[in-house]
Amino acid sequence: MINPTIEAAINDQIKHEFESAYLYLSMSAYFESVNLSGFAHWMRLQYEEETVHAMKLFDYLHDRGGRAVLQAMAQPQSSFNSSLEVFEMALHHEQRVTALINSLYDLAIKENDHATQIHLQWFITEQVEEEKSASDVVEKLKMAGDHPGALFLLNEQLGSRAAE
């Protein structure tokens, strides 16, 4: 049986993962509205990944004899000023999620919950990838500046991203 403190914290993290998914879907909708279908595709895949992350935690709770309790989510931002702004927001968001995962891991250590520590190691590794992925696009957008051709090429590159 899972520790009730850990169970509550994992339920909070499930909410954060679904909020991430919802934010990325909103970002995808924005990119569709400004005819950047490659950017939209990239964000749609992020949405799908975040849903998988939430479900990994959901299933883990049940595997440990706990119960996932879904929580209300706030409406995500839907208006943006630029592609760079969107990806900078995505990077900051991933940094926030990293901090949340690290706090959850610290709690598992404090509560002497070895199984949860092991389970969370996957998330810690995943967050390194998530931050790098968003950071790479931020840097490319900064290099592209206001050059439409560079934005077009980046849109094509992001559109070729495959699901993992």
The domains located in the chain, with CATH, are: 4-71+80-159 (1.20.1260.10)
Query: Known binder of ligand: residue 131?
Result: no
Is residue 164 very low, low, confident or very high in pLDDT (cuts 50, 70, 90)? confident
For the segment 42-52, what is each residue's pLDDT rounded down to a tens digit?
999 999 999 99
Query: Known binder of ligand: residue 111?
Result: no
**What does the pLDDT average to over 142-162?**
95
Question: Cα–Cα distance between 24 and 153 in angstroms, integer?
Answer: 21
For the segment 63-107, what is each residue's pLDDT rounded down to a tens digit?
999 999 999 999 999 999 999 999 999 999 999 999 999 999 999
* Token pair in block for residue 125: 């590794």
**Residue owning tokens 């390194």:** 128
For the segment 27-41, what is each residue's pLDDT rounded down to a tens digit?
999 999 999 999 999
CB-based contact 25:43 (threshold 8 Å): yes
Query: Known binder of ligand: residue 50?
Result: yes
Is residue 139 very low, low, confident or very high in pLDDT (cuts 50, 70, 90)? very high
Share of the chain above pLDDT 70, in %: 100
CB-based contact 52:20 (threshold 8 Å): no
Query: Known binder of ligand: residue 16?
Result: no
CB-based contact 21:47 (threshold 8 Å): yes
Determine if residue 45 is left, alpha or beta; phi over 0 gives left, psi from -120 to 50 gives alpha, anything else beta: alpha
